[in-house]
Structure 1
Amino acid sequence: MNLITGLLVSGIFFYLTSDLLKKYSLAFYVGFYAVILLMIGVNALGYYQNLSPVGKFYIDLFQRGVISTSIFIIVMFIGVFTKHNKLSRTYFTIRGEMSIIACLMALTHNIIFGVVYFVNLFKNPSFMPVQVKIAAIISLILICLMIPLFVTSFKCVRKKMKAKSWKKLQRLAYPFFILIYIHVMLLFSMNVDKNKFSIIVYTLVYVSYVVLRLRKYIISKMKLSENMAMAKAKVKA
Structure 2
Amino acid sequence: MEFLMVLALTCAVVVLANRSIHRSPWLWYGLACALDGLYLVGVAANFPPTVLRVLAPVVQQGMVATALFVIVMYCGVFSEQSPVRRIIGPIRAELSIMACILALAHCLNYLSSYIGVLTAHIEALTANQGASLVVALVLFALLGVLGITSAKAVKRRMHAITWKNVQRASYVFFGLIFVHEVLILYPAALKGTGSAASTLTASAVVFGLYAVVRIGRFILDRSRSAQAVAAEDLEEEVPRACVG
Pairwise TM-score range, normalised by the shorter structure: over 0.9
Once residues 196 and 96 of structure 1 are traced to their aligned partners in structure 2, the CA distance between those partners, rounded to angstroms, is 32
2:242 maps to what in 1? none
Alignment of 1:54-69 (within 5 A): 55-61=51-57, 62-69=59-66
Q: In structure 2, do the counterparts of structure 1 residues 122 and 91 end up closer, same or farther at CA, with 3 Å as the change threshold? A: farther
Match of 2:79 in 1: 82
Hey, what's the Cα distance between the residues in 2 that align with 1:32 and 1:162?
A: 29
Counterpart position of 1:150: 147
SS at match of 1:94: helix
User: Is contact 1:135–1:183 with CA below 8 Å preserved after alignment?
Assistant: yes
Residue in structure 1 matched with residue 33 of structure 2 by the alignment: 33
Unaligned runs of 5+ in 1: none
- What is the alpha-carbon distance in structure 2 between the residues aligned to residue 57 and residue 9 of structure 1? 17
Q: 1:56 Cα deviation (Å)?
A: 4.3
Do the aligned residues in 1 keep the contact of 2:132 with 2:184 (CA within 8 Å)? yes
> How many angstroms apart in 1 are the aligned matches of 2:23 and 2:212?
34
Task: Measure how far apart 1:58 and its partner are.
Answer: 2.5
1:42-191 aligned at under 5 Å gives the runs 42-47=42-47, 50-52=48-50, 55-61=51-57, 62-82=59-79, 84-121=81-118, 123-191=120-188
CA–CA separation in structure 2 for the residues paired with 1:28 and 1:74: 16
Partners of 1:186 and 1:222 in 2: CA distance: 37
Equivalents in 2 of 1:122, 1:73: separation in Å? 34
Q: Is the 8 A contact 1:149 1:173 kept in 2?
A: yes
Following superposition, the deviation at residue 138 of structure 1 comes to 0.9
| 2:234 equivalent in structure 1 | 233
Could you report, residue by residue, the CA deviation over 1:187-235 in whole angstroms, capped at 9, with x for unpaired residues? 1111112122222111111111001110111011101111121122122
CA distance in 2, matches of 1:134, 1:91: 34
Question: What is the count of residue pairs matched by the alignment?
Answer: 233
Cα separation, 2, equivalents of 1:84 and 1:46: 49
Select the structure with the greater relative contact order (CA < 8 A; seq sep ≥ 6): 1
What stretches of structure 2 of length at least 5 have no aligned partner? 239-244
Larger Rg: 2
* Aligned residues: CA RMSD: 1.6
Deviation at 1:17, TM superposition (A): 1.3
Q: How far off is 1:104 after superposition?
A: 0.3
User: How far apart are the structure 1 equivalents of 2:209 and 2:80?
Assistant: 16
Q: Kindly indicate whether the alpha-carbon contact (under 8 Å) linking 1:152 and 1:158 is maintained by their aligned counterparts in 2.
A: yes
